[in-house]
Amino acid sequence: MRLLFLGDVVGKVGRNAVLEQLPTLRRRLAVDFCVVNGENSAGGFGITAKIAEEFYEAGADCITTGNHVWDQRELLATIDADPKMLRPANFPPGTPGRGAALLEAGDGRRVLVTNLMARLFMDPLDDPFAGIDAILADLAMPRDADAVIVDFHGEASSEKMAFGHYVDGRVSLVVGTHTHVPTADAQVLPGGTAFISDAGMCGDYDSVIGMKKEPAIHRFVRKIPGERLTPTEGIATVCGVFVVTDDATGLARSISPLRLGGRLQPAWPEAAE
């Protein structure tokens, strides 16, 4: 399969860039299944059902989130009705929404997508390592799913790397989100799982992780609350990864970074050529 994952969408400029570029990306890369992390797409904080529908219409097959999932309170009332939107699976039992979903690609192949949140420097949710074990307990590729994608939302690269090695050989892709900075460690691990510590954001990089610079700098310099952080309004870079899997095993054959537009050095997936 040919899988596309787009990192944290930040604010209106990130959202518009994804809506503009995703249909073309799906066509040029012959994408079978696409996941978008949308947790910062509503003014930099959370996501709404309306924005989610726009992503689906543009070509997203699934939307993942993270620690900002509930910033738009309306989502508490709507997330249960959306089978393609995930919140971290290691929220306590009884939390609205779902942490994993088995979804169909356009050609009928099945993709299990799950969203988990790390704990180091993050909110202390349930153990994500035990959480992924529970999700994968009765699942085998390709018998039960043709591919398995894990969005691991966390701050510390060490925890993300440990998690990637922990599930190596059991999933197709572990992609880190949350830090909004693309890392240079995209690789296929020894057991066949594609991995990257962070896919980066879809947003304006002339910023502090997508937010206007001055209020963010003020918080560090003064160490007192100041102006509310708001997304920048410049030109966005669309960041993510493109993964090709082996249909016989569900494991990865290749992973390539994607960076398109804006200020960052562009990167186009080699496997797409």
CA distance 11 to 86: 19
* Amino acid 111: pLDDT: 98
* Amino acid 271: pLDDT: 66
| Strand 238-245 relative to strand 2-6, pairing | antiparallel
* Radius of gyration, alpha carbons of the chain: 17
The predicted model gives 226-255 an average pLDDT of: 95
Cis amide leading into 215 (omega within 30)? no
CATH code, 127: 3.60.21.10
pLDDT tens profile 195-217? 999 999 999 999 999 999 999 99
pLDDT tier at 92, thresholds 50, 70, 90:
very high
DSSP β-bridge partners for residue 175: 151, 196
The predicted model gives 212-223 an average pLDDT of: 92
Contact criterion met (CB below 8 Å) for 226 and 186: no
Catalytic residue among 68, 153, 178, 180: 68
Active site residue 68: yes
Instruction: Give the predicted TM-score (pTM) of the model.
Output: 0.96
* Amino acid 140: pLDDT: 94
Domain total of the chain: 1
The predicted model gives 137-150 an average pLDDT of: 97
* Amino acid 272: pLDDT: 57
Average pLDDT of every residue of the chain: 96
Instruction: Tell me the torsion sign for CA atoms 71, 180, 175, 7.
Output: positive
What range does the domain containing 29 cover?
2-272
* Amino acid 245: pLDDT: 98
- Residue 115: CB partners within 8 Å, gap ≥ 6? 64, 65, 66, 86, 87, 88, 89, 99, 100, 150, 151, 153
